[in-house]
Amino acid sequence: MCGIVGYIGSKDCVDVLLDGLKELEYRGYDSAGIAVMNAEHISVCKVLGKISNLEKKVQTLDRSILKNAIGIGHTRWATHGKPSELNAHPHLGEFSYVVHNGIIENYKELKIDLEEKGHKFISQTDTEVIVHLFEEYYNLCNNTKEAFKKAISHLEGAFSVLLMSKVEPENIYFFKKGSPMVVAKGKVKNEVLFASTDAPLIGLAEDVVYLEDGVGGVARLGNIEFFSKDYTWSKLPTSKAYAQKDGYRFFMEKEIYEQSDVAGDCTLGRIHGEKIIFDELAKLDVDSIKEIKLCACGTSYHSALMASYLFERLAKIGVKVEIASEFRYKNPLLLKSTLFIAISQSGETADTLEALKMAKKAGLKTLVICNVDNSSMTRLADFCILTRAGIEKGVASTKAFCTQSLVLWMLSLYFAEIKKNISKEKLQDEISALREVPKTLLVKTKIHEKCRRLAKRYLHGHGFFFIGRDVFYPLALEGALKLKEISYLHAEGYPSGEMKHGPIALADKELFTIALMPKNMLYTKTKSNVEELSARDSTICAISPLEFDLADDFIKTDEKSHYMLEFFDILIVLQIFSLEVSIRLGNDVDMPRNLAKSVTVE
């Protein structure tokens, strides 16, 4: 997830672009850049790190030669290619400049073909193919509009693009697919503005088009030409804070609703036909792996625990799951045939980082599954798989956990296939289910509304059990943690089979039990555990696709063909439920008391 801006007008283009990028920094900030051009001059400034670094660097520009300029800008959240000045956007060709948000899924094939035709690439990004493709076609047809359309038609994946070229220094070409982009008429006569979302435009414009997929065009002073008719003009919202949250009440709520989109980004380029591809692991000798150690903290530990079921069941590899703060001091057995996998949204959690160092020092192969490129862990590990969830602002992790779980499911299948521990048919069934995840993660209004109503009844709960079996036990732990950390109510997650070994002593009318009852995983077993709790007067909230008459409250989820699709379906319910309880209690959902987004201290 990145932020892109564009400007055509009479104001100081550099200042307008910088102001816009600052409003989009919440979308990514590992590098940034602008390109500003008029008929006589072009200036390009790119930096590693935040917009503030760019603001310093543009002080060196001679603004006097940049009058009546047009420009494009970008703030990056790395998905392909390490954060660096070289990989920062805008990307340059011989005579054109491009900024892009999304993932070009077929960039490798395009890059090889363009290099064979003599194009010189200088970055490791997927984006750079756009500018070379445009120039290749322009050199053939000598028509910018046709060249732009042709270039775009060869791209696969998600891409919102702004492109400008020396051959037409008054035009900005635009196209939207997958990642968001808006185009607006400025309040100042003849101005045209572009941005990834409407936040940067508030105060500068009133009329905006929220571009739909497949819509593109070209803009110049006082004119916006759309290549197709499917667009409508809207009025901009008036509050910036409201806009940065895209109209949601909290970043956490926005990030829950983003999960469907980021799940698509997370799988892009990794599911190829009936195979799972991880280019990042090309040099990993999977056959030499005899055991896996998964190590993490908090919510990331829950995705690790979930993965242990999948690695053993699908890849037939023995797994040990470690809480990093325990692992560090237990003098663990570390064998070189073990693959050590650290899981971390931030890549900076002190305990997980130290555990990773221990494993590396002991000579284990190390892999980190992380959401922040260029973080301490991604720089240290031998291998890194990015979850591509985009920036997660809410302290309570939602889309990071979701994409971690998705990566780990894909990784278990990747290992299973290489080790020949899965049949072709089984692999195809799993991949078919994987393809359904983005759609499964769409939040249904009826579910959100049901959770909102239930929150009214549960917000004074004295104690909650979240119970489930198999991968729904780690999910129960995650549901309990979500409720604890943003509503401050006491909640525990348990394997539902554990009730009779002690916890059921707590069952009475004060105890709320949130029962995860998927149809495709040990339903009958779980049902009998829930009946035991109900018989002792615990208030039961059942989450299931199957009606359950003993439930005091019932959240009906959709019937799914695979238990992992039920996993993601029930995850949404747990996240929305904790969100609505916290909102009713009047808590600061995004910044709960006593917590921090990244625990970089022990």
Q: How far is the CB of 247 from ligand AGP (least distance, A)?
A: 23
Reported as half-sphere exposure (CB side, CA atoms, 13 A), residue 464 has a value of 31
Q: How far is the CB of 281 from ligand AGP (least distance, A)?
A: 21
Q: How far is the CB of 467 from ligand AGP (least distance, A)?
A: 20
Catalytic site residue from 2, 297, 370, 384 = 2
Find the angle CA(388)-CA(389)-CA(391) to the nearest 5 degrees: 110
Q: How far is the CB of 347 from ligand AGP (least distance, A)?
A: 7
Q: How far is the CB of 371 from ligand AGP (least distance, A)?
A: 8
Tokens for 241, please give them: 């804070």
Tokens for 93, please give them: 């060709």
- 2 in active site: yes
Mind giving me the DSSP string for 174-202? EEEESS--EEEEESSTT-EEEESSSGGGB
Distance CA 349, CA 353 (A): 6
Is the CA virtual torsion 49, 51, 52, 56 positive or negative?
A: positive
How far CA 370 is from CA of 77, 373, 381, in Å, comes to: 13, 7, 11
Catalytic site residue from 82, 149, 419, 597 = 597
Secondary structure of 405-427 in HEC code, one letter for each residue? HHHHHHHHHHHHHHCCCCCHHHH
Q: Which is nearer to ligand AGP, 351 or 470 (CB)?
A: 351
Q: How far is the CB of 298 from ligand AGP (least distance, A)?
A: 2
For strand 338-344 and strand 365-370, is the pairing parallel, antiparallel, or unpaired?
parallel
Q: Which is nearer to ligand AGP, 196 or 300 (CB)?
A: 300
- Which positions touch ligand AGP (CB under 6 A)? 297-300, 344-346, 349, 352, 395-397, 485, 598-599
Element (H, E) at 26: none
Q: Which is nearer to ligand AGP, 192 or 396 (CB)?
A: 396
Q: Which is nearer to ligand AGP, 96 or 346 (CB)?
A: 346
Q: Which is nearer to ligand AGP, 92 or 573 (CB)?
A: 573
Q: Which is nearer to ligand AGP, 184 or 297 (CB)?
A: 297
Q: How far is the CB of 295 from ligand AGP (least distance, A)?
A: 10
Find, among 422, 391, 397, the residue nearest to 409 by Cα: 422
- Contacts of the segment 410-413: beta carbons below 8 A, 24+ positions apart: 410/267, 410/270, 410/271, 410/276, 410/278, 410/434, 411/276, 411/278, 411/307, 411/311, 411/369, 411/385, 412/307, 412/310, 412/311, 412/313, 412/314, 412/315, 413/276, 413/314, 413/315
Q: Which is nearer to ligand AGP, 88 or 369 (CB)?
A: 369
Q: What residues act catalytically?
A: 2, 597
